[in-house]
Amino acid sequence: MRCTPFALTVAVLLSACSGEGVSNSTFPEPDRPVSEAGSNQFSTETQRDSRGEAQTVMDLAEIRPGMTVADIGAGNGYYTVRLAERVGSEGRVLAQDIDEQALGRLARRVERYRLDNVSIRSGEFSDPKLPDNSFDRIFMVHMYHEIEQPYEFLWRMWPALRAEGQVIVVDIDRPTDAHGIDPLLLSCEFSRVGYELVAFKDAPELSGYYAQFKATANRPEPGEIKPCRSDSIAQG
């Protein structure tokens, strides 16, 4: 079943979409540690703006007025509010997180700023709960290494991209149990689930690197996904 694009309201949306009926036991476990969930405040917004972080990422991602963007792991909304301004009144932003308290704070912030083009959705550890065929860009900033079931998460996220849609990842090149991920391992995990790396940039101003992926023509069946070997990546 294909979900219809989301209705944009300042509310916490709970419905599921892609991959309904697929058991999570079908997906492989990651062959690497997973970081414990950390603070949803990576650094202060003033510090991040002083480095031009959001501006740099949005420029690299070619965010334009009228786009529809998902902010996964939105936290307190650093990217959400800046994306909302960039896409404008004709664009849409969906902010998603698994932290209900963070979503509550973000909902109040969205209401206070009168961001009528933002909606809020609660996700799950293994499923972002995004509607199909809805997004020009999906942002995953300093959070991918905390996903407990990355193959399942990416598999369920794949249908949410529009035909020319892309996934934007910002992370740090360090071990996955230290709140980062080797960019080669990141690219491997994405490729195993039906994505292709289209852009990469080492970016000190982002306290890490920038990676951009598109969906390939076909998404493998869950049982066909082979996990990446983190030790092989490190040696290679």
Which residues have CB under 8 Å from 157's CB, separation 6+?
18, 72, 128, 130, 138, 167
Give the amino acid at 225: I
pLDDT digits (tens, 9 = 90+) for 129-169: 999 999 999 999 999 999 999 999 999 999 999 999 999 99
Place of tokens 């195993």: 192
Could you give the domains of the chain? 43-235 (3.40.50.150)
**What residues have CB less than 8 Å from 122, skipping those under 6 apart?**
12, 13, 14, 96, 97, 98, 100, 103, 129
Q: Rounded to the nearest 10 degrees, how much is the dihedral formed by the CA atoms of 151, 157, 159, 161? A: -130
As given in the structure block, the two tokens for residue 89 are: 């009144």
Query: Residue type at 203?
Result: A
DSSP 3-state assignment of 35? coil
Give the chain's mean pLDDT.
Answer: 88
24-79 pLDDT, tens digit each: 679 999 999 998 876 545 578 999 888 889 999 999 999 999 999 999 999 999 99
